[in-house]
Structure 1
Amino acid sequence: MPSRSLSLAILPAIEAVAASQWDALVGKDQPFLRHAFLQALEGSGSVSSATGWEPCHISVWQADRLVGALPMYRKHHSYGEYVFDWGWAEALERAGGHYYPKALSAIPFTPVPGPRSLIAADVDADAIREQLASAWQGQCEELALSSWHLLFAEEQEVAAWQRQFPGLIAREGVQFQWRDRQFKDFDGFLASLTSKRRKMIKRERRLVAEQGFTMRRLEGNDITQVAMAHFYRCYTITYHERGRPPYLNQAFFERLRHTMPEALVLVQALLDGQPVAAALCFRGETALYGRYWGSEVVADCLHFEACYYQGIEYCLAQGLTLFDPGTQGEHKLVRGFAPQRVRSLHYLAHPGLAAGVARFCQQEAAHINAYRQAAAQALPFK
């Protein structure tokens, strides 16, 4: 497809494009890229210029058909990204430059690996990426943005960007994911583990029950306004314990309850029949994603039960093959979550900063790759 048949547009809000056009480019396993999810972020005010996230999504058109897209935001800080570049910002500021605003292609507050560049299946992907690059480069030049960052993209996409634009700096990362190994059920999963870890998980689950908790999973339209409001109270507690306000407001979650209920799975912990803790997950066609958690009570092992074991059980019951429980945590490793490579890409306009960051990322990668390999050797499977 010749590039002259393509046109570019910067969207100041996701609602500037029809949901049917946008979602036609989104795979069935990525609820966070769906129009409804991005619209809930923007429509609730969780993502806005007031919160330091200015939507400027890139769209590529062939006549009146959307054939390529890239979520993008002009950022005035580095909160809610989970690929930490505060040190880069400080270095540029010390040199007399300005790191903010910058351009960011990611899902706000959502460090889940997945596609970022949305490209129609029947077009030349390289030509679309050329257009997308032209757009973010143009934004950096016209608006004096210091940089562009592509976070948590799929490995295949990272490789494609690097092939076309070798000057992009790659940064390594590690996350932990559970995958079904034809376990059939939770007992089958336990049977695959070493005796030490099998006993540990059984003891943790038994301890939750002995403290009087029962667990309940709600899906879709069974998640009522009352249930979501209780979840939100629990979610805010997690942030307040750290002395920070929550990134997301209650209106965001209420919008999701109405616009994409089929993607929601709410795990509740009940005490004397009343919910006292909750974890909200999202599901795709083959994957479950653990995202948010909070509790009104302090209880041994309740987090492990609500955020890990309930998710594994759900995947096995529903035939889902991947469970991504969220970022960080070596404690996931001993519970059967394997280390996975994740990468981000970075363009920095300042040559000196770019050179320094490239050296840093190269040195950091050696340590992260060694850690990932060591972690894989420590998995608890027989």
Structure 2
Amino acid sequence: MSETITLKPVLSISDISADDWRHLLNPAKPSEATNPFIQYEFLKALEDSGSVSAENGWQSCHLAFYKAGELIAIIPNYIKGHSYGEYVFDWTWAEAYERNGQKYYPKALSAVPMTPVTGPRVITHLKPEQQVPLIEAAIQWTQQNHLSSWHINFTCDSDDSVFTDERLLQRSDIQFHWHNNRYESFEEFLTCLKAKKRKNILRERRAFGTGSDNYSDWDFVWLDGHTASSDDWQLFYRMYRNTFDKKGGWAQLSQGFFECCANALPDQTLLLLARLKGEPVAGAFFMKSDTALYGRYWGCFEEVEFLHFETCYYRGIEYAIEHGLSVFEPGAQGEHKLARGFTPAWTRSFHYIEQPQFRAAIAKAISQEAEWLELRYEQYLQHSPYKAQ
């Protein structure tokens, strides 16, 4: 570790002042500085609501770096006792450890909990070449604490050169994002699509009053942290929880998280309620930056054909157009998004594996996976929903 830089793990974000954290965000890069998921308030809402805690396998352990007593960088970080809520899947790695009588957990994860959104993972004003000692210190910390590995998920372009270290394995994946080509309306967006895709979208939206017949029993209400009430957030939590319960999943976010987040970031927190004859049936939780809309969580009380697409995709596209947002990221995975105007986008993660034999095996698996992903990416491009330019 550099003699001039000291790493101090922090077990609660409250042990860092909000002003010090905000000071490290770069105002010259709005797409990063206003990314809601690296805001102090968002990460604190996760902790304060109990959504991340040692008890549920998310022990906060943020990596704070100091020089001459001054905070110069932070890497949001957690000690994980499982691999839920990460969206960079390493279950097979954990199984390989177990088969060989080794422990994969606990591991270190530098990412935003339950949020597969690209963003800065090193929050600092330091130039990339000045951040090399931070990575060295983090690797040494991983070794000293006998952790199996350190994972950095969904890095942004500005971070990639920082993590280009021979000890870190790079892994890629594919998401689907919508890009705003300065559309003035949803209708103008549709004109850019191939005829079959355009007709399919119009058909899916017809039941919700967006086709030639403007009458519908459905209405959709956008709320934000200022206009949504406590009852609205409790309602959405029930929708969210109901959807996970039906699928046998784990709803990791607590009941208090959504309202806590709305209170902390009222301008960036959005709730869309879908109502049938005035009665809420479904809802979707979004967040936004100055440049992007992020679709995060969905819930419903009853299954209605195409309602998920209308609530989570089409209404989000309309919102992005209306508010001049350049990109809409609706979440991880989902090839079905391709037919609805979304296009493939690469995401990246980096992984430090302590034990050499496992590192070699994982490196080989990542290499084989990358070849398959390259083929899939080319196939997605060949099936673009947009007309040829």
TM-score by length of 2: 0.93
Aligned to 2:376: 371
Gaps of at least 5 residues in structure 1 are none
Q: Distance in 2 between matches of 1:238 and 1:133?
A: 42
Q: Which residue identity is paired with 1:187?
A: E
| Residue 114 (structure 1) aligned with residue 119 (structure 2) | yes
Deviates more, 1:22-31 or 1:43-52: 22-31
Q: Which residue identity is paired with 1:41?
A: L
Aligned to 1:230: 235
Q: Distance in 1 between matches of 2:197 and 2:298?
A: 24
* Cα contact 1:146–1:350 (8 A) shared by 2: yes
Please point out which of 243, 262, 275 is paired with 1:270: 275
Q: Distance in 1 between matches of 2:149 and 2:7?
A: 20
* Cα contact 1:60–1:132 (8 A) shared by 2: no
| Residue 200 (structure 1) aligned with residue 200 (structure 2) | yes
Q: Distance in 2 between matches of 1:153 and 1:291?
A: 18
| Residue 356 (structure 1) aligned with residue 361 (structure 2) | yes
Deviates more, 1:27-36 or 1:339-348: 27-36
* Secondary structure, counterpart of 1:88 in structure 2: helix
CA positional deviation for 1:64: 4.4
Q: Which residue identity is paired with 1:177?
A: H
| Residue 341 (structure 1) aligned with residue 341 (structure 2) | no
Residues 115-165 of structure 1, C-alpha deviations (whole Å, 9 max, x = no match): 111111xx343333422431x223322221000001111134123311xx1
* Secondary structure, counterpart of 1:49 in structure 2: coil
Please point out which of 336, 339, 349 is paired with 1:331: 336
Q: Distance in 2 between matches of 1:96 and 1:275?
A: 50
Q: Distance in 1 between matches of 2:8 and 2:314?
A: 44
* Secondary structure, counterpart of 1:257 in structure 2: helix
* Secondary structure, counterpart of 1:197 in structure 2: helix
CA positional deviation for 1:54: 1.1
Q: Distance in 1 between matches of 2:376 and 2:271?
A: 33
| Residue 127 (structure 1) aligned with residue 130 (structure 2) | yes
Q: Distance in 1 between matches of 2:90 and 2:250?
A: 21
CA positional deviation for 1:4: 4.4
* Secondary structure, counterpart of 1:172 in structure 2: strand
Aligned to 1:13: 12
Aligned to 1:253: 258
Q: Distance in 1 between matches of 2:162 and 2:145?
A: 27
* Secondary structure, counterpart of 1:205 in structure 2: helix
* Cα contact 2:110–2:121 (8 A) shared by 1: yes
* Secondary structure, counterpart of 1:331 in structure 2: helix
The verdict on how the C-alpha distance between 1:303 and 1:272 changes in structure 2, with shifts beyond 3 A counting, is: same
The verdict on how the C-alpha distance between 1:236 and 1:76 changes in structure 2, with shifts beyond 3 A counting, is: same
Please point out which of 53, 64, 71 is paired with 1:66: 71
CA positional deviation for 1:62: 3.1
Residues 315-340 of structure 1, C-alpha deviations (whole Å, 9 max, x = no match): 11001001000011111001111100
* Cα contact 1:152–1:344 (8 A) shared by 2: yes
Q: Distance in 1 between matches of 2:3 and 2:84?
A: 38
Q: Distance in 1 between matches of 2:382 and 2:161?
A: 26
| Residue 94 (structure 1) aligned with residue 99 (structure 2) | yes
Report the identity percentage: 41
Q: Distance in 2 between matches of 1:160 and 1:137?
A: 13
Residues 157-187 of structure 1, C-alpha deviations (whole Å, 9 max, x = no match): 123311xx12211111000000011222111
* Secondary structure, counterpart of 2:386 in structure 1: coil
**Number of matched residues?**
376
Gaps of at least 5 residues in structure 2 are 26-31, 210-214
* Secondary structure, counterpart of 2:154 in structure 1: strand
CA positional deviation for 1:199: 1.0
CA positional deviation for 1:197: 1.0
Aligned to 1:144: 146
Deviates more, 1:54-63 or 1:297-306: 54-63
